[in-house]
A and B are shown apart, each in its own frame.
Chain A
Amino acid sequence: DIQMTQSPSTLSASVGDRVTITCRASQSISSWLAWYQQKPGKAPKLLIYKASSLESGVPSRFSGSGSGTEFTLTINSLQPDDFATYYCQQYKSYCTFGQGTKLEIK
């Protein structure tokens, strides 16, 4: 099984900040990685696929990078709407999610 580990678990930031969330895979997954945003009471929303491709309609302040075992999600110029929980997910073999990173207002 491929395990996914995100860090940090919680991140405090202010509107306008630039933040980075890291996701590590227990083995190489090439670029088979997606990022999701989830707000309370809502289903997750796809942000990034294939590690760095922006899903249609997602603001350009979101970006993804990495390959192999280490990946990052970067949000530039945080907006109030961005405070949520973020999950990475590998799809090289079956489907595994990271444990989530809660982005809080400082």
Chain B
Amino acid sequence: QLHLQESGPGLVKPSETLSLSCHVSGGSISSDDHYWGWIRQPPGKGLEWIGTISYGGSTYYNPSLKSRVTISVDTSKNQFSLGLTSVTAADTAIFYCARFFTSSLGGHSPIRWGQGTLVAVSS
């Protein structure tokens, strides 16, 4: 049974970089056709896709966040990571890591989610 677990600071200062990791257990992060990524949800609001990385290392980012986002994979630790630079209070959210299905047209759909971690941006 695939299990994903987010980790990282729960508080980040404005203008700094938010960094989160997602450890995958019950399966290999390097398996063919496995895509991995991040989704966020501001408290009390809806879901926003941040980005996805393929098993081969190709990345796909939400155009609205692309200039600030980096997603990477560490196969030796069976985990992947999120970096979001120049954060403001508007970036306060629950961040979910997920395994994604990718369609033949290149769209991404989260099919297995971590439990989520709340990150607040405040001085």
- A and B co-occur in one complex: yes
Tell yes or no: B26 within 8 A of A by CB: no
Tell yes or no: B96 within 8 A of A by CB: yes
Provide the main secondary structure of the chain A interface.
loop
Cα–Cα distance between A12 and B105 once the two chains are bound (Å): 37
Inside 8 A of B115's CB, which chain A residues have their CB? 42-43
B46 touches which of A45, A90, A99 (Cβ 8 Å):
A99
Q: What 1/0 flags go to A72-100 for Cβ under 8 Å of B? A: 00000000000000010111111111111
Residue picked from B46, B101, B107, most chain A C-beta under 10 Å: B107
Report the count of interface residues on A (CB-CB < 8 A).
Answer: 22
Tell yes or no: B34 within 8 A of A by CB: no
Residues of chain B in range 79-123 having any CB-CB distance to chain A below 8 Å:
96, 100-103, 105-116
- Cβ of A47 to closest chain B Cβ, rounded Å: 11
Residue of B nearest to A100 (CB): B46
Residue of A nearest to B62 (CB): A94
User: Is A94 in contact with B108, judged by CB distance below 8 angstroms?
Assistant: yes
Inside 8 A of A96's CB, which chain B residues have their CB? 49
Provide the main secondary structure of the chain B interface.
strand
Report the count of interface residues on B (CB-CB < 8 A).
Answer: 26
Tell yes or no: B47 within 8 A of A by CB: yes
Residue of B nearest to A89 (CB): B109
User: Is A49 in contact with B101, judged by CB distance below 8 angstroms?
Assistant: yes
Name B residues whose Cβ lies closer than 8 Å to a Cβ of A: 39, 46-49, 52, 60, 62-63, 96, 100-103, 105-116
A to B CB contacts below 8 Å, 22 in the list:
A1-B63, A32-B103, A43-B113, A43-B116, A44-B96, A44-B113, A45-B113, A87-B46, A90-B107, A91-B103, A91-B107, A91-B108, A92-B107, A93-B106, A94-B60, A94-B63, A94-B106, A95-B49, A95-B108, A95-B109, A97-B46, A99-B46
